A and B are shown apart, each in its own frame.
Chain A
């Protein structure tokens, strides 16, 4: 495959400069570690070196944690001092939109340490997929995080299809990419709306939600489901976009982007809104790298990583993608990354729709296998979901059933960066920090 030069298999003893831990997973008897080399723009695979084993705890724990018990994403360190106590927030409290919690260590008002508590929504997607056919497993996987379903299914299917050696028609892959971009756009609009709501900018929130609804309706009209469920199948897509449909979708997306940029111009002139975001929840670039931040959270701290450019699956190698970064390191920077990505995703989407090939929507017979030589018999894929790098590792048994599945959701690795960024902020900044990361408990709990 063309992107095999993006992957490197070698033994890593310790983290070098500019190298970020992406995931840790077990396949068979081996534990592997996946790293993102942000300097060489490469994905590095290595067996888990014994020298680094301990520090990967949270990522490993996330997989093994049993359902029904919550899991503390503890950044470590004990807080002592007069009046210090732990403020339990969530899982069913005002302000936390899903079943997820936080332990805020504070002496009142000031947040000194945050321990995100996840796993309240654990459904065990990975375990439940084992023994199922990829097509059955797909139904579970794409429901793991409903608002990232296109990214999830694309990621899963790309890995599965590689394992099976399926020659998937380009049109199917391009269609999936169009869906992923639409997903990115509506998620970014959603995050923007949540931020506006947190700042009591109710008109802006309503406008953003209306635009999001427009995108959802486009999804429904052209892909058959508002949240893009069921679009992809193993070897292709169910829906084939006609030329006319492509044109319609392209034009509609341009209208939405234009309306959004108008909304943003108002946003940029609202001091109340800007004040809440500027300087809030700062995440230093070094921390973003060290703690494994991905997606807009990392790019808002100036980290140059976007799977569309650094691990480009078809069609992203053929398309111009502008990497949106911001060196502001605060909630404002993360918001601006998302704001700019709405614009650039529209450009990408329109290019995809413009140049979508006409070679059919479903794979024919089994094709030949061309892939990176991995030490075990597994395949993986990385997709830039709206909240960042999504990693899935799939292993199929001889009968073509899923025998191993590892999902490393973007939200999971962004909890510790969120916790870090909140240190030293006050309670009222919490909402802005949380929303600016765009995290989802359903996503991280899977």
Chain B
């Protein structure tokens, strides 16, 4: 039994902790992050209680209109997202205690303020509170990005770009909310039990919500101005982790929330979501693969993963349209689980890459990695599990969720008509391709960004023992744990979650099959495909043990098992060992084949210019080559034109309408005032 009021108290306590941390940050960063850890732990505990018990928290703040309250509500559905976010915040705050020594104190305050705003977003029961949280989240993140290191001009541009797209997103969300408001005339539409919206108004809400939340998630075609990668990679690494994994998660939360309040889905909504998601996934993956920025790469990968989530949501809509409730629910679980898998892995990747970049003194993956690796085992291990999960290697969380999304698309043959079947199949192929490209990307991220030469590292580079080390261990455990024990994650919130979403209990997708006991197999809806991450993990460990046995790992003192392994020098094609300075394969070269093959997409230009006079001699004359390879964004030009037009327009407006005459401004203010009065009188009257 839960003590009445306990949940409300916990919610307020978590928010209070974050708030206090935000204030304290200016005095002591460590104390602020410590409070962040406390707040996240409370948040995680609270959401676990809500998820398992099915109870919900609700705090009314103040009355908005006669029918609407500003309120905080925590249903099992919200708390799932709060749980995922809290897990990320906890690890990030731990990490920050060691990482941001050389950042100003305001960073900790801003980070906790961002986190607090996200709690408000997740817990808001009405549109007003949601927008307050959304706006303060955007603004706090904006200042957080401004703290980024490197080229000042670049960081400032990145921050403003982020702000511009953030505000654009707010505008569309407000438009979507205006539609929801018309449903029953209250703002409390984010809670449970609202009636369903359909018809043209429903389409209006869906499209504006997709644009509004899609902007925050960096979906195509909005990602093409590179705002998300630029902004997320310019911020300090701990801030990047918060932004890229939880800020985009808010977008997922918002989109699913709005969709859950729509009834009688139109088929084309699903197609639109599938198209947008598929495009985002593939483009995100490709751009990620060619990114040479140690934080730009994970940022593009965020777009890919959010694309996959939107694909799952689109499949949910299409399957629901055809009345395939089982498949639809499985798609929804896939979307939710992918959000979890992605958030954890992405936060971890940003933290690991941030740490490595700090060690190497550069964000450039292509620069030779000369920092030896001693004292950084936990970074390497966490990095390994992270990239394996993001590259969808079984049985980690990333594989389970991508497998689920692909299973949904494999079942697009169940869709009711040929067009939908074709759309589903095509999107499936695109998503599979994106997942394949991510293997290349993640290999690159690990091989060139995280893997280090053997040897003793410089003093002070080790993370053993510190909070950062705990954070890496924490993320490794979570990534492995949520993957191997994925069925447990499903069961944990099965009934509570499905009840809020009006779906089948999610636990029904977990069963036993072919001798694997229940509940260790995940079934993709009605008999189609199954996968047991737990037993895959067991098999994997057994194989590893065999390999270790063969390699003579158990020949040491207590065991004395196995045969001696033969050890030889590495083989370098018959040469002496390669010259690390001139012969080291670098990450740029690793992804250049993609740049060259897809030069229509990347607008790759290669040129070799000979500098120096050409002499007519018998053997080749000395020539200088300058390699210049540009990767241009296809859509960037479009946005550049848009930016030029709007600059021109605002210049015209400011010249004609705002010439700086006081009298004119007073007339504007008067006119606005009169307009508001008339509007209020008309609406209330």
A residues in contact (CB < 8 Å) with B: 15, 21, 52, 55-58, 75-93, 99, 101, 106-110, 112-113, 290-292, 416, 419-420, 423-424, 426
Report if B27 contacts A (CB, 8 A).
no
Question: Residue of A at shortest CB range from B583?
Answer: A86
Given contacts A77-B620, A92-B574, contact A109 B596 (CB under 8 A): yes
Report if B517 contacts A (CB, 8 A).
no
A150 and B616 alpha carbons, distance in the complex (Å): 36
A106 and B590 alpha carbons, distance in the complex (Å): 11
A81 and B626 alpha carbons, distance in the complex (Å): 6
A92 and B578 alpha carbons, distance in the complex (Å): 14
Contacts of A52 in B (CB 8 A): 618
B582, B591, B628, B629: the one contacting A85 at CB < 8 Å is B582
A to B CB contacts below 8 Å, 6 in the list: A58-B619, A80-B625, A106-B589, A108-B591, A108-B593, A292-B618
Docked-complex contact A77 and B622, CB < 8 angstroms: yes
Min CB–CB distance B351 → chain A (angstroms): 26
Min CB–CB distance A111 → chain B (angstroms): 11
Given contacts A55-B618, A78-B625, contact A91 B573 (CB under 8 A): yes
Contacts of A15 in B (CB 8 A): 616, 618
A107 and B591 alpha carbons, distance in the complex (Å): 9
Docked-complex contact A82 and B366, CB < 8 angstroms: yes
Contacts of A99 in B (CB 8 A): 574
Given contacts A112-B608, A424-B608, contact A107 B620 (CB under 8 A): no
Question: Residue of A at shortest CB range from B574?
Answer: A92
Question: Residue of A at shortest CB range from B368?
Answer: A85
Docked-complex contact A110 and B592, CB < 8 angstroms: yes
Most A-side CB within 10 Å, residue of B584, B606, B610: B606
Min CB–CB distance B563 → chain A (angstroms): 28
Contacts of B572 in A (CB 8 A): 88
Report if B194 contacts A (CB, 8 A).
no
Report if B464 contacts A (CB, 8 A).
no
Min CB–CB distance B24 → chain A (angstroms): 44
One digit per residue, 1 when the CB lies within 8 angstroms of any chain A CB and 0 when it does not, for chain B 589-608 equals 11111001000000000101
Docked-complex contact B627 and A107, CB < 8 angstroms: yes
Report if B640 contacts A (CB, 8 A).
no
Given contacts A77-B625, A110-B596, A113-B625, contact A88 B616 (CB under 8 A): no
Docked-complex contact A77 and B596, CB < 8 angstroms: no
A117 and B624 alpha carbons, distance in the complex (Å): 21
A84 and B587 alpha carbons, distance in the complex (Å): 11
Docked-complex contact A89 and B625, CB < 8 angstroms: no
Docked-complex contact B574 and A91, CB < 8 angstroms: yes
> Apart from A83-B366, A416-B619, what are 18 other A-B pairs with CB-CB below 8 Å?
A55-B618, A77-B620, A77-B621, A77-B622, A79-B625, A80-B626, A83-B587, A83-B588, A85-B586, A88-B573, A91-B573, A91-B575, A101-B574, A107-B592, A108-B590, A108-B591, A109-B592, A113-B625
Question: Residue of A at shortest CB range from B627?
Answer: A81
Docked-complex contact B622 and A76, CB < 8 angstroms: yes
Docked-complex contact B592 and A112, CB < 8 angstroms: no
Docked-complex contact B575 and A88, CB < 8 angstroms: yes
Contacts of A57 in B (CB 8 A): 619
Report if B617 contacts A (CB, 8 A).
yes
Contacts of A21 in B (CB 8 A): 618
Question: Residue of A at shortest CB range from B606?
Answer: A110
Contacts of B626 in A (CB 8 A): 80-81
Contacts of B620 in A (CB 8 A): 75-77, 291, 416, 419-420
Most B-side CB within 10 Å, residue of A83, A101, A420, A426: A83
Report if B585 contacts A (CB, 8 A).
yes
A78 and B622 alpha carbons, distance in the complex (Å): 8
Docked-complex contact B619 and A112, CB < 8 angstroms: no
Size range of the chain B interface in the assembly: 35 or more
Question: Residue of B at shortest CB range from A99?
Answer: B574
Given contacts A90-B574, A99-B574, contact A77 B624 (CB under 8 A): yes
Given contacts A87-B585, A107-B588, contact A112 B627 (CB under 8 A): yes
A5 and B17 alpha carbons, distance in the complex (Å): 102
Report if B623 contacts A (CB, 8 A).
yes
Given contacts A87-B583, A91-B575, contact A77 B627 (CB under 8 A): no
Docked-complex contact B583 and A112, CB < 8 angstroms: no
A75 and B623 alpha carbons, distance in the complex (Å): 9
A101 and B619 alpha carbons, distance in the complex (Å): 20
Docked-complex contact A86 and B573, CB < 8 angstroms: no
A416 and B585 alpha carbons, distance in the complex (Å): 25
Contacts of A80 in B (CB 8 A): 624-627
A81 and B573 alpha carbons, distance in the complex (Å): 26
Docked-complex contact A426 and B628, CB < 8 angstroms: no
Question: Residue of B at shortest CB range from A83?
Answer: B588
Contacts of A81 in B (CB 8 A): 625-629
Contacts of A292 in B (CB 8 A): 618
A15 and B584 alpha carbons, distance in the complex (Å): 40
Min CB–CB distance A40 → chain B (angstroms): 19
Given contacts A88-B578, A91-B575, A109-B593, contact A77 B629 (CB under 8 A): no
Min CB–CB distance B576 → chain A (angstroms): 10
A89 and B583 alpha carbons, distance in the complex (Å): 11
A93 and B574 alpha carbons, distance in the complex (Å): 8
Which 8 A-B pairs rank lowest in CB-CB distance, beginning with the nearest?
A81-B627, A83-B588, A108-B592, A108-B589, A77-B623, A92-B574, A75-B620, A55-B618
Contacts of B596 in A (CB 8 A): 109-110, 426
One digit per residue, 1 when the CB lies within 8 angstroms of any chain A CB and 0 when it does not, for chain B 65-107 equals 0000000000000000000000000000000000000000000
One digit per residue, 1 when the CB lies within 8 angstroms of any chain A CB and 0 when it does not, for chain B 477-496 equals 00000000000000000000
B574, B589, B616, B624: the one contacting A107 at CB < 8 Å is B589
A55, A87, A89, A109: the one contacting B617 at CB < 8 Å is A55
Contacts of A108 in B (CB 8 A): 588-593
Contacts of B589 in A (CB 8 A): 83, 85, 106-109
Min CB–CB distance B664 → chain A (angstroms): 53
Contacts of B586 in A (CB 8 A): 83, 85
Min CB–CB distance A80 → chain B (angstroms): 6
Docked-complex contact A88 and B625, CB < 8 angstroms: no
Min CB–CB distance B601 → chain A (angstroms): 16
A55, A78, A419: the one contacting B624 at CB < 8 Å is A78
Contacts of B582 in A (CB 8 A): 85-86
Contacts of A84 in B (CB 8 A): 627
Contacts of A85 in B (CB 8 A): 582-586, 589
A82 and B366 alpha carbons, distance in the complex (Å): 8
Min CB–CB distance B97 → chain A (angstroms): 36
Docked-complex contact A107 and B623, CB < 8 angstroms: no
Docked-complex contact A76 and B619, CB < 8 angstroms: yes
Min CB–CB distance B189 → chain A (angstroms): 52
Contacts of B624 in A (CB 8 A): 77-78, 80
One digit per residue, 1 when the CB lies within 8 angstroms of any chain A CB and 0 when it does not, for chain B 319-355 equals 0000000000000000000000000000000000000
Min CB–CB distance A303 → chain B (angstroms): 15
B573, B591, B606, B618: the one contacting A90 at CB < 8 Å is B573
Min CB–CB distance B565 → chain A (angstroms): 24
Most B-side CB within 10 Å, residue of A15, A52, A56, A77: A77
A424 and B608 alpha carbons, distance in the complex (Å): 9
Contacts of A93 in B (CB 8 A): 573-574
A91 and B575 alpha carbons, distance in the complex (Å): 7
Contacts of B617 in A (CB 8 A): 55, 290
Min CB–CB distance B618 → chain A (angstroms): 4
Question: Residue of A at shortest CB range from B575?
Answer: A88
Min CB–CB distance B15 → chain A (angstroms): 47
Contacts of B616 in A (CB 8 A): 15, 290
Contacts of B592 in A (CB 8 A): 83, 107-110
Question: Residue of B at shortest CB range from A292?
Answer: B618
A386 and B616 alpha carbons, distance in the complex (Å): 29
Most A-side CB within 10 Å, residue of B572, B589, B606: B589
A90 and B571 alpha carbons, distance in the complex (Å): 11
Docked-complex contact B574 and A82, CB < 8 angstroms: no
Most A-side CB within 10 Å, residue of B572, B573, B629: B573
A21 and B621 alpha carbons, distance in the complex (Å): 15
One digit per residue, 1 when the CB lies within 8 angstroms of any chain A CB and 0 when it does not, for chain B 20-58 equals 000000000000000000000000000000000000000
